[in-house]
C-alpha cells in the first residue's frame, strides 16, 4: 500500500507532504507520518489516550495536533497506532490506541522536535486534502 505522505526537500529540517481523502483522514495521516518516521519496531495498540484541542484556524489546529502528539511521546512515551478523530469548527477530539516506548521493542530513527509554521499549507482539491509541514529535527 502506498503511504499517504512523502518527504520533501528541506535544508536542515524534515519536510513532509501529507494527503487525506477528507480533513480527518489528513490529520490521521499526519500522525502516522510523524511516528512512522520517528519510531521503528512493533507498535502495539493496547493502551489508550484521549486528546482534545481547539485552534483558531485549520493550520493552527494542525500545528497543535502535531505538538500534542509529540508532547505525549516526549513526556509519556506514548506512540499512537490507531486514530479515531472528530474535527468540527477548528476543534479536534481524538481517541488514540497505541503503545508506550520500550527500548527493547522500539528504536528512535530520527528525533522530531516541533512542527513549524514555515511553508505550512493545507489545500483542498477535488481529490481531498493535502498538507505541507516542516518539522524541526
Q: Facing residues of 97 across strands?
A: 48, 82
Residue 90 CA to residue 60 CA, distance in Å, equals: 8
Average pLDDT in the 59-85 region? Answer: 98
Range of the domain at 30: 5-136
Considering the chain, what is the average pLDDT of its residues? 95
pLDDT at 26 exceeding the cut of 80:
yes
Q: How many domains does the chain have?
A: 1
Angle separating helix axes 58-76 and 23-38, nearest 10 degrees: 30
pLDDT band at 104 (very low <50, low <70, confident <90, very high): very high
Query: What CATH number has the domain bearing residue 29?
Result: 3.55.10.10
* pLDDT, position 11: 75
Which three-class secondary structure state does DSSP give residue 33? helix
Model's pTM, two decimal places? 0.95
What share of the chain in percent tops pLDDT 90? 92
* pLDDT, position 85: 98
* pLDDT, position 1: 58
Residue 72 CA to residue 109 CA, distance in Å, equals: 18
Amino acid at each position: 500500500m502506498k503511504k499517504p505522505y512523502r518527504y520533501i526537500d528541506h535544508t536542515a529540517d524534515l519536510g513532509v507532504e501529507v494527503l487525506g481523502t477528507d480533513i480527518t483522514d489528513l490529520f490521521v495521516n499526519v500522525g502516522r507520518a510523524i511516528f512512522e518516521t520517528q519510531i521503528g519496531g512493533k507498535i502495539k495498540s493496547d493502551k489508550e489516550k484521549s486528546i482534545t484541542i481547539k485552534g483558531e484556524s485549520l493550520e493552527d489546529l494542525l500545528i497543535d495536533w502535531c505538538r500534542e502528539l509529540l508532547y505525549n511521546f516526549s513526556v509519556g512515551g506514548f506512540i499512537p497506532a490507531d486514530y479515531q478523530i472528530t474535527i468540527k469548527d477548528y476543534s479536534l477530539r481524538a481517541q488514540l490506541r497505541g503503545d508506550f516506548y520500550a527500548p527493547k521493542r522500539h528504536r528512535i530513527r530520527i528525533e522530531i522536535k516541533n512542527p513549524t509554521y514555515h511553508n505550512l499549507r493545507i489545500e483542498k482539491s477535488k481529490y481531498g486534502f493535502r498538507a505541507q509541514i516542516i518539522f524541526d529535527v
